[in-house]
Amino acid sequence: MTEESKDTGRVEAFSDGVFAIAITLLVLEIKVPLPDDLKSKNMGLLAALGQQWPIYLAYVTSFLTVLIMWINHHNLMKLIKRTDHAFLMLNGLLLMGVSLVYFPTELLAEYVVRPEYARVAAAVYGGAFTIIAVLFNFLWLYAARNNRLLDARTDRRLAASITRRYRFGPILYISSFIVAFVSAEATVFICVALVIFFALPHDAEAS
């Protein structure tokens, strides 16, 4: 194993750890209804579980979004064969954003059904993923510019295809942030649609 492959291997291993922790923390938002709460509200367990639908929605959306980010990060690291200080800093900033996902997820789950707060909660949620999407693009663009950190054998058409596809992320997440001030539901819809879009297989996927 070359020194370069060891270096990128350490970056990917560290990144995988952060993604794993971030995605695991999300499940902590799902709470078990307590018997005393059920009695005080005169509510059955099934009804109490059903009332937690905003938590389930926020969890699934955030989990799948982070999962797809991890898959894309993994695919990019197959093409990136070298690192430098700027790349490590950009990767670190990306991971900082990923590790913060639990907060906007919890915020959305708590306030999306409260009309007086829902739009702010949705804006924070959309804004958080906008920042992550922008950082993801910066990371890739820095590595791919003039094949700066890519494997010399990387097909330029593949790199260009990835660049074009990633451009949609920040644009659409910015739109989810903007529309949040009009409709929290629209923000959630856009985020769910983005999960589906990026989950679909693409012809230029790294292999």
Whole-angstrom Cα distance, residue 138 to residue 207? 22
Taking only the tens place, the pLDDT of each residue in 17-55 is 999 999 999 998 888 988 888 888 888 999 889 989 999
Q: Taking 80 as the threshold, does the pLDDT of residue 2 lie above it?
A: no
Taking only the tens place, the pLDDT of each residue in 122-177 is 999 999 999 999 999 999 999 998 888 988 887 888 888 888 888 888 998 999 99
In this prediction the pTM is 0.87
Phi, psi values for residue 80, rounded to 5°: -90, 120
Average pLDDT, the chain: 89
Compute CA distances 103 → 58, 59, 99, 122, whole Å: 11, 11, 9, 12
Q: Taking 80 as the threshold, does the pLDDT of residue 98 lie above it?
A: yes
Whole-angstrom Cα distance, residue 156 to residue 75? 15
Angle, CA 102 vertex, CA 175 and CA 96 arms, to 5° = 80
The three-class DSSP label of residue 62 is: helix
Whole-angstrom Cα distance, residue 33 to residue 46? 10
Strand partners, 150: 80
Compute CA distances 146 → 81, 140, 151, 167, 169, whole Å: 14, 12, 11, 18, 22
Residue 207: predicted pLDDT: 39
